[in-house]
Amino acid sequence: MNVFRNQTYTAVKLEQPTTFATFVYTAYDYNNGRWIEMDRSTIRSQLDGGTQERYVDSLRRIALSVSAGGRATHQLETGMYFANSNPGGEMEELRKQPLNEITDNK
């Protein structure tokens, strides 16, 4: 962060995001009038790319297959952005700006 004209700006470099979905699987057995949890797992599946297939139960009998039809519709383009930082540290709206790469020596 650098101070310019008594204002602080933050630069952020954004790359293409990776989107994940998290699923929670729980299996119960009804025994003697009570539900008893028998199995539980949490599955994190990447949505950007091909079909992801995961077994959800510990016996590997139930599979979950997930695929997404494309990228998110609301995402920022890859590039450098900057934002004015408020005194409390919060950033205002991001604005895209062509900036030199860190490796540029200009």
User: Taking phi first (over 0 means left), then psi (-120 to 50 degrees means alpha), and beta for anything else, what does residue 87 get?
Assistant: alpha
Pick from 3-7, 25-29, 42-46: least confident: 3-7
Question: Which residues make Cβ contacts (< 8 Å) with residue 88, sequence separation at least 6?
Answer: none
pLDDT band at 86 (very low <50, low <70, confident <90, very high): confident
Which tens digit of pLDDT belongs to each residue from 45-81? 888 777 888 888 888 899 988 887 666 666 677 777 7
**Could you tell me the pTM of the whole model?**
0.52
